[in-house]
Amino acid sequence: MWRQVLVALCLSLWICSPDLTLAEDPYLNRAYQLMSETPLIDGHNDLPWQLRMQFNNQLNKVNLDTLETTHTNIPKIKEGRLGAQFWAAYVPCETQYKDAVRQTLEQIDVVHRMCEKYPDTFKFVTTSQGIMDAFKENKTASLIGVEGGHSIDSSLGTLRTMYQLGVRYLTLTHSCNTPWADNWRVDDGSDPIQSGGLSPFGKQLIVEMNRLGMLIDLAHVPVSVMNQTLTMSVAPVIFSHSSAYAVCRHSRNVPDEILLKVKEKKGIVMVNFYNDYVTCSQKANISDVADHFDHIKKVGGAEIIGFGGDYDGVPRTPEGLEDVSKVPNLVAELLRRGWTDEEVKAALGNNLLRVMSEVERVRTQSTNNPGLCERCCNLQHLSMPGTEHRELCRLAASY
């Protein structure tokens, strides 16, 4: 009775609760079904940064069951069917050459403590198998990505130690040049070109990340670094939170020529929902975001797409995708646009799982076969004389 009244009200006033609309929308029902079979794996969420800004990382002051000042809390995670999340360990560029390493360690620490505080919701994992294990336990697999090369202070030892602490991707830059890699702002002229892409040390770092089994994240880098890394890396690479440049010509987005290289390399572009990268304006909606999914699929195929919402890292989110609880609406929109179940599942999680297993395979191969890296390095690579490259590979392999 009450339900009928509510439905009538809902239909006449268009103020529908999610539960009532759910029953009306077959695409949303299908989305929930697919999300129960394949984990939604999101590439980038800045909740740890919010914990630092709002609570100075004091988790005893935080209740994630009721927190209302963030895009992300536990009820929203459940409603959004968040299967796995790369939590960003981000610290601002202003910490470069100062205390970036300490602050990054504190962000890694807060992710570990968040998982310990809410063990029924989160499971900290570091492997593709771990993601599936957590999913089977109905928990959100929690991984760490360090956002910005300034966080390692030009030290491979620091990179390796962060790997030991569970970090599984490094975004090569944030929005500042490091001594060894240029950032995206050189492409719109707001920062000067410094390394012309990767410096020799930057190239050595790529080799070391392949050897370690750490995902290389090209969000925030300029096209020169995308080009050089895609050419050099033995393992596939990711864009943890970037959209399509052809749809919105912002330098944080990925141009078509690079999408083709990502496809060749069997990597992944996890679409960023930030209005300014979606429409190049402050207003965006779910259909604008779906346009990026359609475009990337058209250019590179459904096997190079993923989700990289950037929640809690941005001041504006699209209409219909306000917080992490809303992602199933986007999945439904893709189905409405004719995406097949297989394509949707690829984008939800299967693509990232494929990339991560391949990165793990390259790691195991180079552990069992120390010459492998050197052999890969014997290939001629763009913009680097063969001998210089071989020398760097030798250094990285023998560290």
| Residues with catalytic roles | 44, 46, 147, 174, 220, 241, 310
Task: Pick between residue 250 and residue 363 the one whose CB is nearest to ligand NAG.
Answer: 250
Site string for ligand NAG, 284-313 (x = CB under 6 A): -x-xx-------------------------
Residues 75-104 that bind ligand NAG (CB under 6 A): none
For residue 61, give Cα distances in angstroms to 44, 197, 279, 388: 24, 43, 37, 52
Number of residues that bind ligand NAG (CB under 6 A): 10
Instruction: Tell me the closest approach of the beta carbon of residue 397 to ligand NAG, in angstroms.
Output: 27
137, 264, 341, 388: residue in contact with ligand NAG (rule CB under 6 A): 137
Rounded Cα–Cα distance for residues 289 and 314 (Å): 15
* Helix, coil or strand: residue 344: helix
Residues 332-371 that bind ligand NAG (CB under 6 A): none
Asked if 252 and 219 count as a contact pair (C-beta separation under 8 A), the reply is yes
Q: Does 69 bind ligand NAG (CB under 6 A)?
A: no
Quick one: 154 or 287, whose CB is closer to ligand NAG? 287
Closer to ligand NAG by Cβ: residue 25 or 374: 25
Neighbours of 72 (CB within 10 A): 23
Residues 194-223 that bind ligand NAG (CB under 6 A): 223
Distance CA 28, CA 169 (A): 32
Residues 6+ apart with CB under 8 A from 116: none
Site map 249..288 versus ligand NAG, x via CB under 6 A: --------x---------------------x-----x-xx
What is the smallest separation between the CB atom of 184 and ligand NAG, expressed in angstroms? 12
Backbone angles phi, psi at 356, to 5 degrees: -65, -40
Q: Which DSSP string do the residues of 137-204 spell out, in sequence order? A: TT-EEEEEEEE-GGGGTT-HHHHHHHHHTTEEEEES-SSS-BTTB--GGGTTTSS--SSSSB-HHHHH
**Phi then psi for 193, rounded to 5 degrees?**
-65, 130
- Tell me how far, at minimum, the Cβ of 257 lies from ligand NAG, in Å: 6
Q: Name every residue whose Cβ is closer than 8 Å to that of residue 310 and which is 6 or more positions away in sequence.
A: 44, 45, 46, 241, 272, 273, 274
Q: In angstroms, what is the minimal distance from the CB of 288 to ligand NAG?
A: 5
Comparison of 35 and 353: residue with beta carbon closer to ligand NAG:
35
- Residues 219-238 binding ligand NAG (CB under 6 A) are 223-224, 227
> Binding ligand NAG by CB under 6 A: which of 58, 129, 138, 364?
138
Q: How far is the CB of 368 from ligand NAG (least distance, A)?
A: 32
| Residue 285 token pair | 């909606």
CB neighbour list of residue 245: distance below 8 Å, 6 or more residues apart: 251, 253, 254, 255, 256
- Minimum Å distance from CB 52 to ligand NAG? 32
Given the DSSP bridges, would you call strands 82-90 and 268-271 parallel, antiparallel or unpaired? unpaired
Q: Rank residues 337 and 354 by Cβ distance to ligand NAG and give the closer one.
A: 337
User: In this structure, which amino acid lies at residue 389?
Assistant: H
Residues 6+ apart with CB under 8 A from 161: none
Compute the least distance from the CB of residue 318 to ligand NAG, in Å.
Answer: 9
**Residue (123 or 150) nearer to ligand NAG, CB:** 123
For residues 334 and 326, give the distance between their C-alpha atoms in angstroms, rounded to a whole number.
14
Binding interface with ligand NAG (CB under 6 A):
137-138, 223-224, 227, 257, 279, 285, 287-288
